[in-house]
Structure 1
Amino acid sequence: MNKQLKASDSPPLIFPVSAGIYSGSFKTDSLSAYEQLIFLYRNLCDRKVEASAIHSYGIHTALNGDMDESLNIFTEALSINATLKNNAGVIKNHQSMMRIHAFMGNYFNAVKLGNTLVDLSLISQNDVSLADTYLLLSQIFISQNNFKDAENLVMKKALPLLYYKLNDKIGAIKCYDQLAFNYKSQKRFSEAKWFYIQSNLLARKIGHSESIVNSLINLAHVKMAIGDWQLALNDIQEAEQLSVKNQYKFQLIEIKKDLFELYSKLGNLNAANLALLQFKQLEEEYLVSVQ
């Protein structure tokens, strides 16, 4: 979810505002970057941009771990966008709130928001938002072991919309991955492997290296689940080469952990110990980078 939230917004620059009225209270201390933006646009009477700044603040708050407060902030942004009849803003607010509720396990609220998003997307003819909502609803249904509805949403709605109408190959790859994860969750490994292979083939066809890496990792996990250790190792080694070449540091963390397990299973203890050492080093570097 963090990756989705980060991708949906860009942090604003800090404006040189040191004090003023924000949310009805006078502040003599320095305002945060987001509060400065909101304060600035509120005083400029640009409510649309103010709502966007508030939404950014909600994402910042969620990434810092305060989910309840982020929902309050998104609600404030939603109120402004609804008053302005800014449909794009309303959809954006609903999407973030839906993701937060899903992350917190509040599936009833997440599904309710998802159904609202479907209606809003249909009314505004926003096919991208519609497809994204179908995929997110499918994830929620999988979390609830509602595998059939999850499958139908992707197979009958999201995939045709993305592949044929929008010609969005990256979106189609996400659909294949979602279907594969659905089957893997049910331990239907043959079907899961087939869809991960489709994801891999399409990623190679369009030359999308990150999707190739992700599909190789997912394929390896299925093969590990059924005890095909050597075949899984082949996939992980290729994923490692591509990740090093493209500097996919986050994927490398998972790859090194998988290599430790695979080499251990295959009896190569020296390689396993090296992979474990590299995993711990990469994990520590990543944790330091996000603090």
Structure 2
Amino acid sequence: MRPKPGVIFFNTILLLLCFNSFHFQVLAQNVVTKETPTDGYVHKYNHTFRGIGPEVYILPAAKSKKEALQENYAEIGAFQDSIVQALRFQELLTAFKYTSNMALVEQRLSTIPPDSLNWDSLIDLDRNPEDRSLIYGFMNVYAKVSLLHNNTSRAKSLLDSALQIAMQQQNSGDMATIQANLASVYLYDRNSEQAGRYEAAYLQQAAVRKNLVDQAKSWVKIAYIQAYNNDYKTAENSIIRKAIPLFNKSKDYEGKIGAWVSLATIYQMQQKHTEAQWFLLQARDLANSKKIDHELSEILYRLGSSKLVQKNLDISRKELEQALQLAQEQGNKYLQLAIQEKLGQINLQQNKVAEAEQNLASYWKMRKELFVN
């Protein structure tokens, strides 16, 4: 008995469906057996999946270690401004000047136990009228203590009060000292107008006293103020035509080195790295010839940074590694932090992934030590 045509057709379709299902399962199993995909992507399989859709899911390839490090370095690059600010803060503390009565101030402070020291009582004019000549000295020291506690507002207020008392005492030398400190604090706060006003007054006093070194250093600070106002040409001339001749005349080699570095910094602010390198090389050679080693770490750091911008990686590495060694010897951890970040960038660009990873680890260790947040 021959089957009906409709039954034959139905059985044929059913047979084809079974064959295709078996064929696709075999293909899927063949794909599953590939343990290591060759296309660079991550393959996910679900052996029990029987729904609509593919049995093989393809996800983007996992990031390589180099790609992950590149992202990490891009993230920490934004923190560079905080490191620069910390280095500027170090410079502020180093540049802070003390009044001529500092020996008497220290003598008085030495008689007060640290746990009972009350600065507000020390600078109370009504309570201590006989100490009027010392009070502006106390205020000046208290201003630095305030800076150490990151309170620039209180420091400026104290210095302003100290200046008023020094003016009443007609002590022009101490007036100039306090004006210089006010200029430094305002410059740190990037208030170039106020910084310029106080520094001009200090320069005038230095000229009256015929102190060549103080005049030269004041011109360097004025150059920074001019550069922050984007008046770069005037800033360059303030160092080249004003400060450097005074340093030469006074034979102050350390001051001259600092002036070269400051001039290079002003060129770097304009992205003029070739000009910056020329003056940094002058500073480096003079520092080496006069054995003024404490300036070398910053000089080499700035040289290496400029070379990095110009993609001169091998020379940049050499300068930065020397700078790192000197910064470690000097205990300058903020500079070490900045150098580790630069060296990591170089290692990444030269495909030295392990070294870049080590730089990043050193960077984070120091950053957590130096910065609370």
| CA separation of 1:42 and 1:50: change in aligned 2, threshold 3 A | farther
* C-alpha separation in 2, matches of 1:243 and 1:4: 15
Aligned-pair distance for 1:109? 1.7
What letter is aligned with 1:68? Answer: S
- Counterpart residue number, 1:241: 325
What letter is aligned with 2:328? Answer: V
Aligned-pair distance for 1:126? 2.9
Q: How does 1:209-288 map to 2 (within 5 A)?
A: 209-287=293-371
Are 2:187 and 1:139 aligned? Answer: no
What letter is aligned with 2:177? Answer: K
Q: How does 1:118-157 map to 2 (within 5 A)?
A: 118-157=203-242
* C-alpha separation in 1, matches of 2:362 and 2:125: 47
Q: 1:101–1:110: 8 Å Cα contact kept in structure 2?
A: yes
Aligned-pair distance for 1:174? 1.0
- Counterpart residue number, 1:50: 135
Larger Rg: 2
Are 2:255 and 1:168 aligned? Answer: no
More displaced 10-residue stretch of structure 1: 247-256 or 47-56: 247-256
Cα deviation digits, residues 32-85 of structure 1 (max 9, x gap):
453354359973823332211111112222333333332221111111111122
Aligned-pair distance for 1:124? 2.2
Q: Which runs of 4+ in 1 moved over 4 A?
A: 9-15, 30-33, 39-42
| CA separation of 1:218 and 1:4: change in aligned 2, threshold 3 A | closer
* C-alpha separation in 2, matches of 1:5 and 1:31: 28
Where structure 2 has 5 or more consecutive residues not aligned to the other structure, the ranges are 1-87, 99-104
* C-alpha separation in 2, matches of 1:191 and 1:5: 26
What letter is aligned with 1:173? Answer: I
More displaced 10-residue stretch of structure 1: 107-116 or 169-178: 107-116
**3-state SS, counterpart of residue 125 of structure 1:** coil
1:197 to 281, 289, 310: 281
- Counterpart residue number, 2:168: 83
* C-alpha separation in 1, matches of 2:306 and 2:126: 50
- Counterpart residue number, 1:6: 93
| CA separation of 1:9 and 1:152: change in aligned 2, threshold 3 A | closer
Aligned-pair distance for 1:283? 2.2
Q: 1:57–1:73: 8 Å Cα contact kept in structure 2?
A: yes
- Counterpart residue number, 1:108: 193
Q: 1:131–1:161: 8 Å Cα contact kept in structure 2?
A: yes
* C-alpha separation in 2, matches of 1:147 and 1:226: 22
What letter is aligned with 1:150? Answer: A
- Counterpart residue number, 1:69: 154
TM-score by length of 1: 0.85
**3-state SS, counterpart of residue 45 of structure 1:** helix
Q: 1:184–1:192: 8 Å Cα contact kept in structure 2?
A: yes
Cα deviation digits, residues 186-223 of structure 1 (max 9, x gap):
22222111001111111111222221111110001111
Cα deviation digits, residues 213-245 of structure 1 (max 9, x gap):
111100011111111111100111111222334
Aligned-pair distance for 1:117? 1.7
Paired residues, what number? Answer: 277
TM-score by length of 2: 0.68
What letter is aligned with 1:88? Answer: G
* C-alpha separation in 2, matches of 1:150 and 1:34: 39
Q: 2:337–2:367: 8 Å Cα contact kept in structure 1?
A: yes
More displaced 10-residue stretch of structure 1: 227-236 or 109-118: 109-118
* C-alpha separation in 2, matches of 1:140 and 1:132: 13
Aligned-pair distance for 1:17? 7.5
| Root mean square deviation of aligned Cα | 2.7
* C-alpha separation in 1, matches of 2:146 and 2:338: 27
